[in-house]
Amino acid sequence: MSQAEIHPRDLIAGLQKGLALMQLFSEEHPRLSVAQAARLSGLTPSAARRFLLTLVHEGFAESDGRQYWLTAKALRIGQAYVDSAQMPRMLRPVVEQVARTTQEHVAVGLRDGDEIVHVVRSRYSHIASLSIRPGSRTPLYCAASGRIWLAQLDEEELAGYFARVPRRQLTPFTKTDEAAIRAELVLVAAQGYALVDQEFEVGMRVLAVPLYGRGGRLQATLSITTHASRLSLEEMRLRYLLPLYEAQALLKPVFD
């Protein structure tokens, strides 16, 4: 899954900036003014305005003259990945098998920058949660899947992560102290799985294992989410770790 290095002269800067600007829209910033878009993107106000107007012209955004927001057409970009990528289709049968076996919600996560994005989610779920909707993103530091990824970074990469990423207290259980998170990462590296107790969303407990490809390289994570009222952490580990490891073995050829 590695790719050849691309020379800067072969890149289209305008496309890079436009895509980066689209990604500024979020739950925290559902609407942006030109001034806000310029500040968040590092563009000049005039450049930000032209990019936003281009998005409006192409139907990816709307505006009331003061603020801009994305339209449903923006979903086509993410849907293009779902429709064209082979990997999610190859993963789904095993994901659904684990969900049937455990009667829990199961997902496969990929690292995207400093977040985990869930590219496959089981259709079965007995819980209603914002954190398990398709395409949902979770910060690495407070996600079971994220800690799998952080645990395999070398010291320089890990130090860089902690230096650039602000850690928010998302719930009363969220660990934000660097030393406490580092201690968790040492444990994850030693045991080969991660358990997170209500750190991203109150009531949600998550167990995750790594999915390796050729040469033992980490490619993705497989996780089970359940409600805290159903199982203790120890019960979750005892009951669900074996099905996750069995699925881990079944999915290895997908990443080779």
Residue 242 domain flag: yes
Query: Based on the domain organization, do 217 and 166 belong to the same domain?
Result: yes
What stretches of the chain show up as alpha helix (H) in DSSP?
13-22, 34-41, 45-57, 75-84, 86-102, 144-151, 155-164, 178-191, 233-255
Written as one string, the DSSP assignment of 237-254 is HHHHHHHHHHHHHHHHHH
Query: Based on the domain organization, do 142 and 70 belong to the same domain?
Result: no
How confident is residue 1, by pLDDT bands cut at 50, 70 and 90?
very low
Count structural domains, the chain.
2
Of 76, 107, 132, which closes a domain?
Answer: 76
Query: Based on the domain organization, do 69 and 148 belong to the same domain?
Result: no
Determine the Cα–Cα distance for residues 42 and 29; give it in Å rounded to an integer.
16
Asked whether the beta carbons of 33 and 45 are under 8 A apart, the reply is no
* pLDDT score of 132: 60
Q: Which of 84, 82, 64, 62 is nearest to 72 (CA)?
A: 62
Percent of the chain past pLDDT 90, that is, above it, reads 66
Residue with tokens 């497989």: 222
Query: Based on the domain organization, do 211 and 242 belong to the same domain?
Result: yes
* Predicted confidence (pLDDT) at residue 78 exceeds the cutoff of 90: no
**Comparing 10-14, 58-62, 199-203, which segment has the lowest mean pLDDT?**
10-14
* Predicted confidence (pLDDT) at residue 129 exceeds the cutoff of 90: no
Average pLDDT over residues 215-235: 92
Question: Is 87 or 106 the better-scoring residue by pLDDT?
Answer: 106
Residue 191 domain flag: yes
Determine the Cα–Cα distance for residues 116 and 93; give it in Å rounded to an integer.
21
Q: Which domain does 28 fall in, by range?
A: 8-76
Residue 100 domain flag: yes
Given the DSSP bridges, would you call strands 204-212 and 194-197 parallel, antiparallel or unpaired? Answer: antiparallel
Asked whether the beta carbons of 90 and 232 are under 8 A apart, the reply is no
Average pLDDT over residues 132-150: 87
The CATH number that applies at residue 69 is 1.10.10.10
* Predicted confidence (pLDDT) at residue 164 exceeds the cutoff of 60: yes
